[in-house]
Amino acid sequence: MSEEIPLAAEYVLRLLEGEELLDARRRAAEDPAFAAEVAWWEERLAPLFAEFAEEAPSPDLWPRILRRLDEPGAAVVVLKKQVARWRAATAVAAVAAAVLLGLQLRPDAPAPVPLPPVTTPAPLLVASLVGEEAPEALTVAFRAAGRELVITPARVEAPSGRARQLWLIPEGGQPISLGLIASEGVQRRVLPAAVASRFASGATIAVSDEPTGGSPTGQPTGAVLATGGLNTV
Amino acid sequence: MGICLRILHDRHEAEEVLQEVFISIWNRAGTFDPGRSSPLTWLSTIARNKAIDRLRSRRAHGSDAPYGEALEIADEAPDGFAAAAGREEGERVRYCLSTLEGRTQEMIRSAFFDGLTYSELAARAAVPLGTLKSWIRRGLQRLKLCLEG
């Protein structure tokens, strides 16, 4: 067996201290091959995260985080100009929101039951919507269990007299209204079973420009401002 | 949240760290590479690292409980959502860990789940640091071969 020191693994596990730690940090920053090894280990070990016990944070944590992000000078202002970064940020925020809100939905977590090996778990679907032309950016997460939709607007603005309406567009199907969205605050709603059943990976979520009160026809009537694909997390 | 609490053993601190995690995610979103890892893995990695940072700065100030207590919280209730996401790929790392010698396996797990360093693990196992390092290094090399296989 090779006597090579598995430095990348030690670094990822955070076993190192002192000189050895400084050395590993320097290499992670300067040596792309080493950085790739670090990423390799992070990914291989990541499944172990599933073994951490589930803990619900206090209900006001997410609002507290959003308030801090809203503070003047927060990085959000800069991010607004960068669609690529937004895409990543919104994807992550959607997961974050879903995880946080999801956990709060079960204050009395049932005793852990061994998970059956083959069943498909209740899916969590996430879409991040970014307008190419319009400034709209938001994330939508849907938990099949509870039929709950969580909408996190990053930037949603409607001029006076107009509203923003959210749609689910199943693959090869007609848009289904998910209701109007407010420009601020995390919005949660429970969907009717008939609508919830149409949520599937591959469907599209869209925001359209509509008159106040929403589309009078039940189908989008104004411009589509932002779209995003629905993916299983 | 489970990650932060397991490592820090303090609810208030765990929530503070979780808050930092989300703020830093907004700031570092550009460094996230969707092709390489899932958002959840990325999020979890950042959470673990930040919790360990906090743990070590607390130790540097000498106010930490003895790390011997670290093992008292068991991994009883896996997060159903994360467990489901990780089940398939997880088989490999779990299998590979299980092929290691029991003691080495335990130590690598303590490093991952409790954020212990070489010297902390050595103190806990009451073995010389050099000996412990060579056990774990051998274990990590075997783990790597197995994961590559």
Query: Is A51's CB within 8 Å of B111's CB?
Result: no
Cα nearest neighbour of A80 on chain B: B26
Helix segments in A113-228, DSSP class H? 193-196
More confident residue, B83 or B49: B49
Question: Over the stretch A217-227, which tens digit does the pLDDT of each residue have?
Answer: 889 998 899 88
Q: Which residue has the tokens 């990822």?
A: A12
Distance to chain B for A89, nearest Cα, Å: 5
Query: Is B117's CB within 8 Å of A93's CB?
Result: no
Instruction: Report the phi/psi class of residue A27: left, alpha or beta, with left for phi > 0 and alpha for psi in -120 to 50.
Output: alpha
Name the average pLDDT for chain A: 77
A and B: number of Cβ contacts within 8 A: 194
Give a yes or no: residue A212 inside a domain. yes
Q: CA-to-CA distance for A35 and A15, rounded, in angstroms?
A: 17
Q: Same structural domain for residues A139 and A213?
A: yes
Give a yes or no: residue A2 inside a domain. no
Chain A residues within an 8 Å CB radius of B117: 14-17
Banded pLDDT at A119 (limits 50, 70, 90) = very low
Kindly write down the DSSP assignment for every residue of A157-173, as one continuous string. ---TTEEEEEEEE-TTS
Q: Same structural domain for residues A113 and A148?
A: yes
Query: Is B32's CB within 8 Å of A48's CB?
Result: no
Chain A residues within an 8 Å CB radius of B90: 47-48, 50
Percentage above 70 pLDDT, chain A: 73
CB B85 within 8 A of CB B139: no
Query: Is B3's CB within 8 Å of A49's CB?
Result: yes
**Does the pLDDT value for residue A107 go beyond 50?**
no
Give a yes or no: residue A158 inside a domain. yes
CA neighbor of A100 nearest in space, from A152, A163, A138: A152
Chain B residues within an 8 Å CB radius of A85: 29-30
Q: Same structural domain for residues A82 and A152?
A: yes
Number of domains into which chain A is organized: 2
Q: CA-to-CA distance for A164 and A182, rounded, in angstroms?
A: 8
Chain A residues within an 8 Å CB radius of B22: 65, 93, 96
Q: Same structural domain for residues A21 and A96?
A: no
Amino acid sitting at position B9: H
Q: Which residue has the tokens 């991010």?
A: A79
Q: Could you tell me the pTM of the whole model?
A: 0.58
Q: Same structural domain for residues A222 and A130?
A: yes
Of A44, A115, A121, Cβ closest to residue B93: A44
Give a yes or no: residue A56 inside a domain. no
Give a yes or no: residue A148 inside a domain. yes
Q: Same structural domain for residues A106 and A163?
A: yes
Q: Same structural domain for residues A120 and A43?
A: no
Give a yes or no: residue A1 inside a domain. no
What is the domain-level CATH number for residue A173? 2.60.40
Helix segments in B29-61, DSSP class H? 39-60
Banded pLDDT at A157 (limits 50, 70, 90) = confident
List the structure tokens of A226: 């932002």
List the structure tokens of B23: 């703020």
Q: Same structural domain for residues A80 and A37?
A: no
Banded pLDDT at A19 (limits 50, 70, 90) = very high
More confident residue, A148 or B75: A148
How many CA within 13 A on the CB side of residue A218?
Answer: 1
Banded pLDDT at B110 (limits 50, 70, 90) = very high
The predicted complex's ipTM stands at 0.81
Query: Is A47's CB within 8 Å of B49's CB?
Result: no
Q: Which residue has the tokens 């080493």?
A: A34
Q: Same structural domain for residues A11 and A109?
A: no
Quick one: how far is CA A219 from the chain centroid?
Answer: 27
Q: How many helices (H) and strands (E) does chain A have?
A: 7, 9
Q: Same structural domain for residues A21 and A77?
A: no
Chain B residues within an 8 Å CB radius of A15: 111, 116-118, 121, 136
Q: Same structural domain for residues A135 and A205?
A: yes
SS3 A226: strand
CB A120 within 8 A of CB A200: no
Give a yes or no: residue A155 inside a domain. yes
Q: Same structural domain for residues A131 and A191?
A: yes
How many CA within 13 A on the CB side of residue B114?
Answer: 22
Give a yes or no: residue A174 inside a domain. yes
Q: Could you tell me the residue range of the domain that residue A30 belongs to?
A: 7-51
Q: Which domains does chain B have, with CATH numbers?
A: 1-65 (1.10.1740.10), 80-149 (1.10.10.10)
